[in-house]
C-alpha cells in the first residue's frame, strides 16, 4: 500500500533522511523507533508534505507518487499525520474546524458535504467514544487543551476523517497512563484491514497498548533493523547504542 524507496530529505544542506526504504501493506501496523535526531519527525513531515524540506526518492501510495502532491492533496488521498505537538489556533473553533476539514476531504473525493445536523450527529457519536465533551469542542482549536486533550482531539480527527494511512508522531509523549489508555483504545478501534499505521515513537511503552506487526529501527536517516514487536522489547532493555555508529 505504501512503498517508500530511497527517500532522502534535507534542510539547509543538512541531510537528515539518507535513502530510506520501507514497505507497509494494507492493514499493517508498523512502528518506527529510534534515538533523538535519527530523523523520525522528518520522516513524518516528508510523508505529509510539509514545506521547507528538500526531498528526493519516491513514496508510492495507492499507485500515486505522494511527492507530487501538496499537503492538502495528500490528506484528501487519505494520509493523516497525528502531530506530536498539535498546534493551538486561537479564534478557530474546534467544531467549525472539524466540519471544514471533513467536508474538504469529502468534496475532494466526490462526496456530498455534510450539513450541520448530519455533521453534529456523527461528531456526537465519535466524541463520546473518546470522552470528549461539548465544552471542549466549543473552544478554539487546541487552545487551553491539556496534553491529553490535544491528543484525544487528534484521535477524534482520525476517527472522523477515516484516513487509510495514519502516521503517528510520538503520540505518547506527555501522556499519563490514563490518557495513554484512552488514546490507544481509540487507535485500536480504528484498526482495520484497509487501514495502515506508521507509529513513530521513542519509547516502547505505547507499543504495549498498540501491538505493531513490524518494528523498525531508524538510525542516522536509514532503517537499520527490522523485526516483529519483540524487537521493541529488546530495544527497551538494551537501548539504541548498538545501532548508533
Partner 1 sequence: MENYENIKVNFDSFIQSLESDADDIEFRKKSFNHFLTNGFPKAKDEQWKYSPLTKDLNKFLSVEFSKSAEQNFPEELKENYDHYPIVFIDGNLQLDNVQENGLKIVKNEKFLKSVKKEGTNPVLNFTNAFADEGYLIEVEPNTVISKPIVVYNFYSNNFSSSFVSAKNFILINESSEITIFEKNIYNSDQEYLITSNTEVFLAKNSKLKKYNVNEENKHSTIFNFTKANLDEGSELEHFTFSKNTNSCRDETIVNLNGKNSFASVSGIQSLLDSNNHEIKLNINHNEEFTESSQFIKSALHDSSTAAFQGKIFVDSQAQKTDGYQLSRALLLSDKARFFSKPELEIYADDVKCSHGSSSGSIDDESIFYLRSRGINEKDAKEMMIKGFLAEVIDKLKDDRFKKIFFTKLGHDSENV
| Min dist. Cβ of residue 170 to partner 1 (A) | 16
The verdict on 91 binding partner 1 (CB under 8 A) reads yes
| C-alpha separations of 25 from 92, 133, 164, 190, 194 in Å | 36, 35, 11, 16, 9
Query: Considering only residues 3, 18, 60, 97, which one is a binding residue for partner 1 as defined by CB under 8 A?
Result: 97
Q: Using the rule CB under 8 A, is 130 a contact of partner 1?
A: no
Buried b (16+ CB within 10 A) or exposed e, 181-202: ebbbbbbeeeeeeebbbbbbbb
Site string for partner 1, 45-84 (x = CB under 8 A): ---xxxx------------------xxx-xxx---xx-x-
Which of 98/232 has CB closer to partner 1? 98
Per-residue contact track with partner 1, 214 to 233, x per CB under 8 A? --------------------
161 binds partner 1 (CB under 8 A): yes
Kindly indicate which of the ranges 6-14, 21-29, 93-101, 191-199 contains the residues binding partner 1, using the contact rule CB under 8 A.
Answer: 93-101
Q: By CB under 8 A, is residue 186 in contact with partner 1? A: no
Question: Residue 57: CA atoms inside 13 Å, Cβ hemisphere, count?
Answer: 22
Q: Nearest-CA neighbor of 182 among 204, 136, 149?
A: 149
Q: How far apart (Å, rounded) are the C-alpha atoms in residues 135 and 15?
A: 44
Mapping DSSP to helix (H, G, I), strand (E, B) and coil, where does residue 176 land? coil
Q: Are 131 and 148 in contact (CB under 8 A)?
A: no
Q: Does 157 bind partner 1 (CB under 8 A)?
A: yes
Q: Please state, in angstroms and rounded to a whole number, the distance separating the CA atoms of residues 212 and 234.
A: 14
138: left (phi over 0), alpha (psi -120 to 50) or beta: alpha
Residue with cell 506530536: 84
Q: Is 93 in the site for partner 1 (CB under 8 A)?
A: yes
Q: For the residues of 222-240, what is the DSSP string, one character each? A: EEEEEE-THHHHHHHHH-S
- Asked if 122 is part of the footprint of partner 1 (rule: CB under 8 A), the reply reads no
In this structure, the number of other CB atoms found within 10 A of the CB of residue 220 comes to 17
Q: Does 41 bind partner 1 (CB under 8 A)?
A: no
The footprint of partner 1 on residues 8-27 (CB under 8 A) is none
Output the smallest distance, CB 195 to partner 1, in A: 16
| Pick 80 or 145: Cβ nearer partner 1 | 80
Residues in touch with partner 1 (CB under 8 A):
48-51, 70-72, 74-76, 80-81, 83, 86-87, 89-93, 95-101, 104-105, 108, 116, 119-120, 138, 140, 157, 161
Amino acid at each position: 500500500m505504501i512503498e517508500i524507496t530511497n527517500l532522502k530529505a534535507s534542510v539547509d544542506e543538512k541531510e537528515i533522511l539518507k535513502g530510506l526504504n520501507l514497505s507497509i501493506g494494507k492493514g499493517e501496523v508498523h512502528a518506527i523507533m529510534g534515538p533523538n535526531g535519527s530523523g523520525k519527525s522528518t520522516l513524518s513531515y516528508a510523508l505529509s508534505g510539509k514545506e521547507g524540506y528538500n526531498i528526493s526518492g519516491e513514496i508510492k501510495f495507492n499507485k500515486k507518487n505522494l511527492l507530487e502532491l501538496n499537503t492538502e492533496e495528500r490528506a484528501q488521498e487519505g494520509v493523516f499525520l497525528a502531530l506530536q505537538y498539535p498546534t493551538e489556533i486561537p479564534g478557530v473553533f474546534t467544531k467549525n474546524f472539524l466540519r471544514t476539514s471533513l467536508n474538504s476531504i469529502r468534496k475532494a473525493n466526490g462526496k456530498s458535504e455534510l450539513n450541520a445536523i448530519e455533521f453534529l450527529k456523527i461528531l456526537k457519536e465519535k466524541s463520546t467514544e473518546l470522552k470528549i465533551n461539548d465544552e471542549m469542542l466549543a473552544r478554539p482549536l487546541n487552545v487551553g487543551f491539556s496534553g491529553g486533550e490535544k491528543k484525544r482531539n487528534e484521535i477524534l480527527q482520525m476517527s472522523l476523517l477515516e484516513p487509510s494511512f495514519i502516521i503517528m508522531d510520538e503520540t505518547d509523549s506527555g501522556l499519563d497512563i490514563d490518557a495513554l489508555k484512552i488514546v490507544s483504545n481509540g487507535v485500536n478501534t480504528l484498526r482495520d484491514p484497509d487501514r495502515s499505521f506508521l507509529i513513530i515513537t521513542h519509547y516502547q511503552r505505547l507499543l504495549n497498548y498498540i501491538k505493531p506487526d513490524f518494528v523498525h529501527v531508524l538510525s542516522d536517516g536509514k532503517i537499520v533493523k527490522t523485526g516483529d514487536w519483540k524487537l521493541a522489547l529488546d530495544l527497551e532493555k538494551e537501548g539504541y547504542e548498538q545501532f548508533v555508529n
